[in-house]
Amino acid sequence: MSALLTSLTLAALAAPSSTPASPAGVTWTLGTIQPAGRGAITPGAALARPTLRLDGSGASLKLTGNTGCSPLSAQAALKGSALVVRGVQAGGSERCTDAALSLREDYLRLLNATTRYDLSADALILSGGAGRLTFTRTGGAMTQTPTDSLDGTWQMRVTPGPAGSERGQALLRFTFSGAKVTVAGLAGCNTVTGSGAVVGQQVVFGGVASTRRFCPGTAGVAENRLLGLLRAPLTIERQGATLVLRGQSGQLTLTRAPVPATPGSVLPDPAATYTLTRLNGQPAPQTLRPVTLSFKDGRLGGSDGCNSVGGAYAIRAGRVELGGGLMGTKMACPDQPTLDFQSFFEQRPTLSVQGGTLILKTAEDTWEFQAR
């Protein structure tokens, strides 16, 4: 640390002041940003709000959070109403849109220049020569550290709305591996996928992509709420056997996903690729690519005759159940027949294996595959 920074730090910590309540132990979400000489700016509704959290006490505080599009970490020192932030690390900005990048740069500049904090009820103000940041409280202390026992796959069982819990078609699977987290599944009408990280006591997705299928009425409203939640920081809370991801506009309640059945003589061979040979008793239609299926490590994959598809699955009581929607490539296939995998598997087809033949049946369709 340079002599200049050391002297500034000591001066800030030595400034006489009253001793307000500590902002530590709480997750704070940015409400407004006000560069010096300008009015307060509220980030647009389409932007993920930056967050921060202070843990520890005195001169040994750890700061974690995010910039809205990248993780954030730093060290901080607190004495009285003086607060000095140093060693800010904000990761890369390659996933930031232009608008998010502008907010990120202003946020980091003001955070680095912080010398004082003011705490009032559920509001936290950080100020310094570059301007001020105003935050609102969004979460309290965790019952466990975020990564304790989170590894594995969790599934969402309720899609929340502002007026209460809404039960819909959404089914998402969140997979944690240390600090890494991915999400995939069905958000209502569209399938989604995304990757992110556990940052402090929050989950921050660097980007969430979705298909663009039209979703009318209340289903579309619920889906938009869900996508809005996923695109903003989510505070992690453990509540017994459930995991709650809490955002500003609602929460997602997760439970451990069932483990797929262990392959055996009546289950698909995980080493095989199955190719469609008959459809409803007739020879399989001619498609641009062979229609195929594979079942490996809890993932169903293959080709619908044109595009590659895949998603998590489990076999329960002889039926194939998706652990979310199927994701697929988006290659255009004009005048080429394809099979609607999504609609077919949403009907939970029965599965049977007879030698090298795999048969999937719904009330209306029978698909027969041969192991290759």
Whole-angstrom CA distances from 23 to 60, 79, 252, 273, 344 are 14, 12, 26, 56, 52
Pick the CATH number of 274-371 from 3.40.50.620, 3.30.950.10, 2.40.128.270, 3.40.50.300: 2.40.128.270
Model confidence over 88-141: pLDDT tens digits? 988 877 777 788 888 999 999 999 999 999 887 678 899 998 999 998 887 554
CATH code for residues 152-256: 2.40.128.270
d(CA 148, CA 236): 11
Of these ranges, 116-125, 237-246, 313-322, 339-348, the one predicted with the greatest mean pLDDT is: 339-348
**Predicted pLDDT of residue 258:** 62
- The HSE-up count of residue 108 (CA atoms within 13 Å, CB side) is 22
Model confidence over 27-81: pLDDT tens digits? 888 888 999 888 888 887 667 788 888 888 888 889 988 888 888 889 999 888 8
Q: Which residues contact 282 (CB under 8 A, 6 or more apart)?
A: none
Among positive and negative, which fits the CA dihedral 211, 215, 220, 222? negative
Distance between first and last Cα of the chain: 64
Q: Is 54 left (phi over 0), alpha (psi -120 to 50) or beta?
A: beta
Q: Which of 112, 102, 109, 139 is nearest to 124 (CA)?
A: 139
d(CA 77, CA 86): 8
Q: Which residues contact 44 (CB under 8 A, 6 or more apart)?
A: 99
Name the pTM for this structure: 0.40
Model confidence over 277-318: pLDDT tens digits? 999 999 998 888 899 999 887 788 899 888 888 888 888 778
**Predicted pLDDT of residue 139:** 58
For the chain, give the percent of residues with pLDDT over 90: 15
Among positive and negative, which fits the CA dihedral 346, 352, 358, 364? negative
Q: Per the structure block, which two tokens stand in for 239?
A: 């509540």
**Predicted pLDDT of residue 277:** 93
**Predicted pLDDT of residue 173:** 83
d(CA 198, CA 202): 6
Please state the domain extents for the chain. 3-139, 152-256, 274-371
Topology agreement, domain 152-256 and domain 274-371 = yes
pLDDT tier at 369 (50, 70, 90 boundaries)?
very high
Mean pLDDT of the chain: 78
Is the CB of residue 250 less than 8 Å from the CB of residue 162?
Answer: yes
The CATH class of the 3-139 domain is mainly beta
d(CA 201, CA 27): 8
Q: Per the structure block, which two tokens stand in for 23?
A: 């902002």
